[in-house]
Structure 1
Amino acid sequence: MLNLGGPATLDEVGPFLVRLFADREIIQLPLQAWLGPFIARRRTAAVQENYRLIGGGSPILRWTTIQGEGMIRWLDRLSPATAPHRFYVAFRYAPPFSEDALRQMQADGVKRAVAFTQYPQFSCATTGSSLNELWRAARRLGLGNAFSWSMIDRWPTHPGFIEAMTRSVQIGLEQFPAAERHNVLLLFSAHSLPLKIIDRGDPYPQEIGASVQAVMVQLGFAYEYLLAYQSAVGPVRWLGPQTEQVIKQLGAQGRRNVLVVPLAFTSDHIETLAEIDHEYGELAHRAGITNFKRAPALNDDENFQRALADLVAEHLASGLNHSRQYPLRCPGCTSDQCRNLLNPVASPESVALAHDRQLRM
């Protein structure tokens, strides 16, 4: 289960930021070997304060573990032919790292593995970076041929995910007085990305948009809605509009009922608990938005755990190594690591047959 991760303690914040600003697959800076650590050091104290607000560390490992345990319970029932199943967590910038997961997989005698991104919408900066690091880690450990791999590289409109997100919106709407709910504006908020990545042709914006559209279809387009992006950092231009600016503008327009829907985050962490709940909550109050609420993250939602299991069961039954879209590199891509798959489980011939079956269905 691949994800960005988060520092579990205040002492881990600095190293977490250093790893983040060193990753050229998400942020490309001039003199990055010097400027990256410099920015990380400058931001550490402020970021530590945000983590202090939410209890001193990120809960993302706890929620990912709960989600993995629930997924496995469902998966053993849905796909008994491939049972028993196990899950391993591999974070990009905080423990447990890819090396930790791979070593444990080897110790457990695993032979068949699925790299399962926990970012529903694909980006080279998130899923791509995590996958590339997974393959590098396997080679560093001498485990390049230890496991037969396939991957679930995106799932922005999977029915189970959309159903879980729709239910989250509905729960969020219950926080408003019944007489006000028809006037609630849904503000979908996703993590932003540097525009340099988007300009290369990264699919993230279109997949975020697809998720928004699918949720609104389930809601019957009964509410007004907007999409914005949050968490821009560093001296580069980021994808917008920025959530904080939209909140200010909505307040200036006289909007009083706003529900933020954290669409790209499948569990609570600093972006939901500190940035949305505290920072944006205070901003909304100053802007005159009297009812500013957040839809709950999926966290320990059993329907979401079932959706994760459905995704894996469908993938295992498909006979495919990855999605049809995965091999398509961004038009402006210059990396020789993108779109790799280490030691694929299915041969090109069997993949071609599986795609042919899908086309005939």
Structure 2
Amino acid sequence: MFSIKQVMRLKPFMALRFASSQSSPKTGIVMLNMGGPQSSENVHDYLLGIMTDKDMIQFPFFQNKLGPWIAKRRTPEVKQKYDEIGGGSPIFKWTEKQGQLLCKQLDEQCPESAPHKNYTAFRYVTPFTDEAFNEVLKDGVKRIVVFSQYPQYSCATSGSSFNAIYRHFRKIGFPKDIKLSVIDRWSTNPLLAKTFADLIRKELKQLPEDKQKEAIILFSAHSIPLKTVNRGDSYPSEVGATVQMVMQELNYCNPYQLVWQSKVGPLPWLGPFTDDALKGYVKQGKKTFLLVPIAFVNEHIETLHEMDIEYCKDLAGEIGVKHIRRVPTPNDHPLFIDALTGIVKDHLKNGGGVSHKFLNRCPHCTNVNCYNSKKWYADICNRT
């Protein structure tokens, strides 16, 4: 049973969900993301899903045995981190709220495709991909827009979610009377850049006035293995494109650098790493920093623990950083909700479908599942 306080906290989200579900939805907006455990008890299963997903992580051998072993070994450490940020990830709360606000605006601006309803489809925790699409089909929607919540595309994140959708419908078949279309990336959306620029300006003003101009803006994104980069994954270039658009919006007001975080395992990953960059700049005499989670659209473990606790608190104290702040993720920022709305609105008005970029595989791709998945999307999304 929920406590009175829990019910009161849920009421705004329940009201929005009820409003979007009063009549049968015509258009379903399925919002893809990795997800995060809502309680520390779910951490092991979450890690197990990641470590055994060959689209996310490729071990050189024995993944079916090595993956579960690593998940079990890392569970206590990761569980403690979730306990330190309140016991679970808020990513479901934010994804739901973003989707509900998005659909509310779509109902107003796109009456021809209304009513719209949002569905959250997580990769490694409930609501899983199959759960989300089972609900979509149960609701009897006429059109499905699969909307990746990773602005910058990577085969390991967005690609894994899209492949999971393909595997689900490979088993049950895709209904002939439903139109499916895909929004796979939106790294250069102008309102996304304006959202981050606004958040950065506000955070810069929280620094001492004489330190604001000298603050180094570190745009931090989740790293990926170098072998993934060398295979042709477009993620690094798309993250870089977002950074450039944000800095252009800020009129290049401060020095800045793109850095990478969340490395896992012994293999070489894309750098420079965020913690190493902080150490390197301190050696150069720099002492004022602003961290920007440029590839994350809502708060979760990488922002609330890795950036806030491990970098801004523990590491900053260790290396003598005097001033450091972390920019919030977009969450429910009005400009960001407008960005989401505009992306889907334009997609609907332009007929949807699927982009040529999405259907084009990396030049050194050897993933048969990826080949079959993209072929399936080409067939389903382009049919009349």
Given candidates 260, 271, 283, the residue that maps to 2:315 is 283
Tell me how far 1:179 sits from its aligned partner.
1.9
Q: What do residues 40-60 of structure 1 show as CA deviations (whole Å, max 9, x unaligned)?
A: 111111101110111000000
> Using the alignment, how far apart are the partners of 2:355 and 2:240 within structure 1?
19
Following superposition, the deviation at residue 107 of structure 1 comes to 1.3
Listed as ranges, the matches of 1:111-130 within 5 Å are 111-130=142-161
Q: How do 1:207-246 and structure 2 match up within 5 A?
A: 207-246=238-277
Q: How does 1:169-248 map to 2 (within 5 A)?
A: 169-248=200-279
Change (3 A) 1:104 1:130: same
CA-to-aligned-CA distance 1:46-99 (integer Å, 9 cap, x gap): 101110111000000000001001111111122111111111000011110011
The alignment partner of 2:368 has SS state of coil
Q: Residue 38 of structure 2 corresponds to which residue in structure 1?
A: 8
Structure 1 stretch displaced more, 209-218 or 157-166: 157-166
C-alpha separation in 1, matches of 2:166 and 2:359: 16
1:302 is aligned to 2:338: no
Residue by residue over 1:316-341, the C-alpha shift from the partner in whole angstroms, topping out at 9 and shown as x without a partner, is: 11124122311221110012332344
Deviation at 1:226, TM superposition (A): 0.4
CA distance in 2, matches of 1:229, 1:328: 26
Shift of 1:175: 1.8
Q: Name whichever of 338-347 and 227-236 sits farther off.
A: 338-347
- Aligned ranges for residues 112-151 of structure 1 at < 5 Å? 112-143=143-174, 145=176, 147-151=178-182
CA distance in 2, matches of 1:341, 1:150: 12
2:55 to 20, 25, 48: 25
Please say if residues 26 and 197 of structure 1, whose CA atoms lie closer than 8 Å, have aligned partners that are also in contact: no
Worse-matched range after superposition: 59-68 or 338-347: 338-347
* 1:122 to partner: Cα distance: 0.7
AA aligned opposite 1:140: K
| Partners of 2:354 and 2:381 within 8 A in 1 | no
Cα displacement (A) at 1:237 = 1.9
Say which SS state the counterpart of residue 182 (structure 1) adopts.
coil
Alignment of structure 1 residues 307-326 onto 2, 5 Å = 307-326=339-358
Q: Distance in 2 between matches of 1:332 and 1:288?
A: 44
Contact 1:17 1:40 in 2 (8 A): yes
For the pair 1:54 / 2:90, whether they are aligned, the reply is no
Conserved 8 A contact 2:188-2:242: yes
The offset of 1:345, in angstroms, is 4.2
The corresponding residue for 2:191 is 160
Task: Report the TM-score, using the length of structure 1 for normalisation.
Answer: 0.93
Query: In the alignment, does 2:360 pair up with 1:328?
Result: yes
Gaps of 5+ in 1: 351-361
The two structures have a TM-score, normalised by structure 2, of: 0.88
Q: Is the 8 A contact 1:17 1:44 kept in 2?
A: yes
Equivalent-residue separation in structure 1 for 2:298 and 2:328 (angstroms): 9
User: How far off is 1:344 after superposition?
Assistant: 2.8
3-state SS of 2:260 partner: strand
> 1: CA distance between counterparts of 2:57 and 2:126?
21
Aligned residues: 348
Matches of 1:193 and 1:302 in 2, distance apart? 30
How far, CA to CA, are the matches of 1:95 and 1:247 in structure 2?
36
| Residue equivalent to 2:23 | none
Aligned counterparts of 2:265 and 2:48: Cα–Cα separation in 1: 12
Cα deviation, residue 144, structure 1: 5.8
The one of 77, 82, 92 aligned to 2:123: 92
Letter of the 1:344 partner, please give it. Answer: I
Given the alignment of the two structures, is residue 77 of structure 1 paired with residue 108 of structure 2, yes or no? Answer: yes
Q: Which moved more, 1:180-189 or 1:321-330?
A: 321-330
Question: Mean alpha-carbon deviation: is it higher for 321-330 or for 108-117?
Answer: 321-330
Q: Are the counterparts in 1 of residues 354 and 382 from structure 2 also a CA contact under 8 Å?
A: no
Range that drifts further, 78-87 or 138-147:
138-147
SS in 2 for 1:113: strand
Cα distance in 2, alignment partners of residues 345 and 153 from structure 1: 13
**Gap change, CA 1:273 and 1:345, over 3 Å in 2:** same
Equivalent residue number for residue 14 of structure 2: none
Task: Give the Å deviation of 1:143.
Answer: 4.2
Cα deviation per residue 1:23-55 (whole Å; 9 max; x = unaligned)? Answer: 111211111011111111111111011101110
Instruction: For residue 105 of structure 1, report the CA deviation from its aligned partner.
Output: 0.7
Tell me the distance in 2 between the aligned counterparts of 1:193 and 1:345.
29
Q: 2:242 is aligned with what amino acid?
A: S
- Give the letter aligned to residue 119 of structure 2: Y
CA distance in structure 2 between the partners assigned to 1:135 and 1:188 by the alignment: 33
Classify 1:270/1:57 alpha carbon distance in 2 versus 1 (closer, same or farther; 3 Å). Answer: same
Q: Is the 8 A contact 1:252 1:287 kept in 2?
A: no
Counterpart of 1:292 in structure 2: which amino acid? I
